[in-house]
């Protein structure tokens, strides 16, 4: 059974926010909890992504084109686009402190979508919402 803290952290990730407890449990069961030391590279801009990370404890620094753009903490997710398109990473993310993360692999995530079809509709709505927000930000 997935730990309550994992479900709480997954529910705070915009991609999974509309998921039911049962759906979040499926995602949590397919994830691995991993401890990473400060300074560890989680993902590198331009490299092909095969997993996403949900931060449970600690902070991570996000850089785009060698410029720091954000510091992320518990409940933040990085690499989620890799779960959907296996494309190149849009940023480099490095552990700023020791981290405890949930790692969700693309293969495991695809299996969840196959086993729990309603999750796909919720993910599509979440992505559509993100596109609308970006559209509003860029074009007003």
Whether 7 maps to a domain, the answer reads no
| CATH code assigned at 68 | 2.60.120.10
Is 75 within 8 Å of 16 (Cβ atoms)? Answer: no
The Cα 100–Cα 56 span in angstroms is 5
pTM here? 0.85
Does residue 59 sit within a domain?
Answer: yes
Let me know if residue 4 belongs to a domain.
Answer: no
Q: Looking at the 3D structure of the chain, how many domains does it have?
A: 1
Parent domain of 70: 32-107
Q: Are 45 and 110 in contact (CB under 8 A)?
A: no
92-95 and 67-72 strand pairing: unpaired
Note down pLDDT in tens along the chain; length 140 residues: 457 788 888 888 887 888 899 989 999 999 999 999 999 999 999 999 999 999 999 999 999 999 999 999 998 889 988 888 889 999 999 999 999 999 999 999 899 889 888 888 888 888 888 889 888 999 98
In a domain, 23, yes or no: no
């Amino acid at each position: 059974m997935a730990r309550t803290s994992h479900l709480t952290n997954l529910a705070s990730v915009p991609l999974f926010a509309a998921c039911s407890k049962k759906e979040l449990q499926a995602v949590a069961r397919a994830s691995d909890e991993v401890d990473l030391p400060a300074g560890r590279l989680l993902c590198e801009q331009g490299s092909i992504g095969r997993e996403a990370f949900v931060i449970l404890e600690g902070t991570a620094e996000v850089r785009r084109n060698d410029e720091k753009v954000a510091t992320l903490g518990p409940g933040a997710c990085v690499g989620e686009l890799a779960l959907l398109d296996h494309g190149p990473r849009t940023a480099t993310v490095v552990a700023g402190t020791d981290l405890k993360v949930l790692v969700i692999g693309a293969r495991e995530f695809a299996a969840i979508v196959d086993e729990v079809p309603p999750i796909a509709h919720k993910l599509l709505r979440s992505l559509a919402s993100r596109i609308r927000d970006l559209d509003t930000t860029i074009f007003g």
